[in-house]
């Protein structure tokens, strides 16, 4: 076998599916009896989701509905990074939920450290917000993917750009 095989470990959200999940959440909120006549708004742009609700309970309910819709659309709730609750006008509350994109330097170092301690004969390097794993044996790369899937890094990992 000549040459190296490689793949990239990434954390990318499907923006269209996320938008669909938010739209389904808006539709469910508009149809639910417990939200009739209440302040209950959710707004999505590609970087964050803004939730505005009458009280903390309703805000948490909206967040749970959103998580359920995300799971149904195969978007991991791990992409959500809820900020702190802020008081808004009229006794309502607001929360900004950031969308986690990419792998942070700290998480990338943690992933590389786990790969090194596994003693699998591969090399891993950080490339911006991607971790590239390369090795001579395809089976070693499969073992790394299996090992990374078994660990919880608090972010959703995908394995892309497989080259042999």
Which tens digit of pLDDT belongs to each residue from 107-142?
A: 888 888 888 888 888 888 888 888 888 888 888 888
pLDDT of residue 116: 86
Class in CATH terms, 5-12+102-163: alpha beta
Q: Which residues of 41-72 are buried (b: 16+ CB within 10 A; e: fewer)?
A: ebebeeeebebbbbeeebbbbbbebbbebbee
Domain boundaries, the chain: 5-12+102-163, 15-99
Write down the CATH superfamily of domain 15-99: YajQ-like, domain 2 (3.30.70.990)
pLDDT of residue 1: 43
- Fold agreement between 5-12+102-163 and 15-99: yes
Cβ atoms of 120 and 143 within 8 Å: the answer is: yes
pLDDT tens digits along 31-85: 989 888 888 899 998 889 999 999 899 999 999 999 999 999 998 898 988 989 8
Cα→Cα distances 5→36, 137, 138, 162, Å: 56, 7, 6, 8
Cβ atoms of 41 and 62 within 8 Å: the answer is: no
């Amino acid at each position: 076998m000549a040459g190296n095989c490689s793949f990239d470990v990434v954390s990318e959200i499907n923006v269209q599916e996320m938008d669909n999940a938010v739209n389904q959440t808006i539709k469910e909120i508009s149809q639910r009896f417990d939200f009739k006549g209440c302040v209950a708004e959710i707004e999505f742009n590609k970087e964050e989701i803004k939730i505005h609700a009458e009280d903390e309970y309703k805000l948490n309910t909206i967040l749970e509905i959103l998580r359920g819709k995300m799971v149904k659309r195969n978007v991991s709730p791990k992409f959500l990074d809820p900020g702190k609750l802020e008081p808004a006008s009229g006794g309502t509350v607001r929360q900004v939920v950031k969308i986690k994109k990419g792998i942070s330097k700290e998480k990338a170092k943690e992933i590389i450290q786990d790969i090194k301690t596994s003693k699998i004969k591969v090399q891993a390097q950080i490339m911006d917000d991607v971790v590239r794993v390369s090795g001579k044996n395809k089976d070693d790369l499969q073992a790394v993917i299996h090992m990374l899937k078994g660990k919880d890094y608090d972010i959703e990992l995908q394995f892309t750009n497989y080259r042999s």
